[in-house]
Amino acid sequence: MTGDVGLFGPDSVTWKLHREPILLLGGLRSLYLQALHPRAVAGVAQNSGYKADPWGRLVRTSDYVGTVIYGSTAEVEAAASRLRRLHARMSAVDPLTGERFRIDEPGLLRWVHVTEVESFLTTAVRAGVRLTADEVDGYYTEQLRSAELVGLDPASVPSTAAEVAAYFEAMRPELGLTRDSAETALFLTVPPVPQHWGGRALRLGLTLGPARWAYLGIAGTAVGLLPSWARKMYGGLGWPTTDVAAGLSVRGMRALIAGVLAALPEQYRVAPIRRAALERAGLA
């Protein structure tokens, strides 16, 4: 290596996994899962401007994740410090008890972290990314570094597939569909069309045309990839056939993305932040 590769590096499971563009679908899946925690979704609803600027929030979140995965040590520390300061200023009211709570409660940070990394991993594996059992556990263990960045004690965070499964089982009594959950899920499924994306014809196409239907298919696949107990909380079906259909869909999406990327000029196939990390690692 010729430079600073940040928290993980080219030999990590994290770099192997996050080179897959299909993880964007995993990010969407994690939002549906996170919204089933009454306090977590209330914290977002009461503090975030996601409804006014959903696409901007998506870009900022993606930038943060990309920085943590591929940024230099200094870039990662700066991004994490900004996030911790932001969370430290926020609070919300529990919709069930009326209690005011801090956004950076360890229990909430842990829920967001676990649902995110589990969604990335599950989506990639269901899409056909081949990982051994050791690599699966290795990814969870590596992501303890990401958990520590947001203020969590790594010892309090599940670090293997078995521990994550046990965590979800223990959390299920605390989860459920609230008004905030339902509104968030609807918003994720039928988001507004970004008004700054060109002229009237383009906006109309996104509103009524193939792009809108394509996005609905993407959102439907994200929901289909949820655990059966989570789909049931949303009023959906926990049938095994739903799992099979979602698996076929996400594999098809991964193949389609690969085909599109292969047709692009080389400079557009790799995200700039990953390219910079590869250059620092001497792998450009």
Residue 157 lies in a domain: yes
Q: How many CB atoms lie within 10 A of CB 252?
A: 14
Highest mean pLDDT pick, 44-48, 202-206, 223-227: 223-227
pLDDT in tens, 160-187: 999 999 999 999 999 999 999 999 999 9
Q: d(Cα 258, Cα 274) in Å, to the nearest integer?
A: 17
Instruction: Name the strand (E) or helix (H) holding 102.
Output: strand 100-102
Would you state the pLDDT for residue 241? 85
Question: What backbone phi and psi angles, to 5 degrees, belong to 118?
Answer: -65, -35
pLDDT in tens, 237-259: 777 888 999 999 999 999 999 99
Residue 168 lies in a domain: yes
Residue 201 lies in a domain: no
For residue 171, give the nearest of 247, 239, 88, 113 by alpha carbon.
Answer: 113
Asked whether the predicted pLDDT for residue 200 surpasses 50, the reply is no
pLDDT in tens, 107-159: 999 999 999 999 999 999 999 999 999 999 999 999 999 999 999 999 999 99
Q: What residue type is assigned to position 160 of the chain? A: T
% of the chain surpassing 70 pLDDT: 90
Q: What is the 3-state secondary structure (H, E, C) of 2-27?
A: CCCCCCCCCCCHHHHHHCCCCHHHHH
Residue 44 lies in a domain: yes
Q: d(Cα 30, Cα 281) in Å, to the nearest integer?
A: 30
Would you state the pLDDT for residue 226? 96
Would you state the pLDDT for residue 268? 85
Residue 139 lies in a domain: yes
Would you state the pLDDT for residue 96? 86
> What is the number of domains present in the chain?
1
| Predicted TM-score (pTM) of this structure | 0.91
Contact 114, 45 (CB under 8 A): no
Would you state the pLDDT for residue 86? 93
Would you state the pLDDT for residue 238? 76
Residue 114 lies in a domain: yes
% of the chain surpassing 90 pLDDT: 75
Residue 35 lies in a domain: yes
Contact 101, 94 (CB under 8 A): yes
Q: Is the dihedral of CA 45, 46, 50, 51 positive or negative?
A: positive
Would you state the pLDDT for residue 193? 61
Domain span holding position 128 = 13-192+267-280
> Which residues have a Cβ under 8 Å from the Cβ of 99 and sit 6 or more positions away?
93
Residue 117 lies in a domain: yes
For residue 122, give the nearest of 35, 8, 233, 250 by alpha carbon.
Answer: 250
- Residue bearing the bigger pLDDT, 22 or 191: 22
Query: Exposed, middle or buried, 148 (CB in 10 Å: 0-12/13-18/19+)?
Result: middle
Tokens of 76: 């990662």
- Residue bearing the bigger pLDDT, 61 or 37: 37
